[in-house]
Amino acid sequence: EAQVTQNPRYLITVTGKKLTVTCSQNMNHEYMSWYRQDPGLGLRQIYYSMNVEVTDKGDVPEGYKVSRKEKRNFPLILESPSPNQTSLYFCASSLDPDRGPNYGYTFGSGTRLTVV
């Protein structure tokens, strides 16, 4: 089944303790991205990657890191989480629309992160 898999689904952590949220897709998509969803602010892009070793900032990159060493994986790293990073996080992937038919973005099931 074609899908984007995020782990964990739920995470409660303490301020300053480094964490990684994993994201993996099995559709051979070039493009991957991370969003966060907050009440009243909607979904905002954190980082994106056009392909392996190519990453760039989205709208709200502060406090986050990403890497794209393999095409299928795009982990989100919080080096020193703070309470304002409490949010619902989504990973998404899509084909590069410049290279052929595009069927839009596929989203993972979300990771609900609480930083206390």
Binding site for another protein (CB under 8 A): 31, 33, 35, 42-43, 45, 48, 50, 56, 58-59, 88, 90, 92, 94, 97, 102-107, 109-110, 112
Q: In degrees, to the nearest 5, what angle opens at C-alpha 20 toward C-alphas 2 and 111?
A: 55
CB nearer to another protein: give 53 or 56. Answer: 56
Q: How far is the CB of 80 from another protein (least distance, A)?
A: 25
**DSSP label at residue 37:** E
Q: How far is the CB of 37 from another protein (least distance, A)?
A: 8
Say if CB 89 and CB 75 are below 8 A apart. no
Q: How far is the CB of 63 from another protein (least distance, A)?
A: 18
Using CA atoms, how far apart are residues 1 and 11, in angstroms rounded to an integer? 26
**DSSP label at residue 101:** -
CB nearer to another protein: give 35 or 74. Answer: 35
CB nearer to another protein: give 14 or 41. Answer: 41
CA dihedral 8, 13, 16, 20 (to 10 degrees): -10
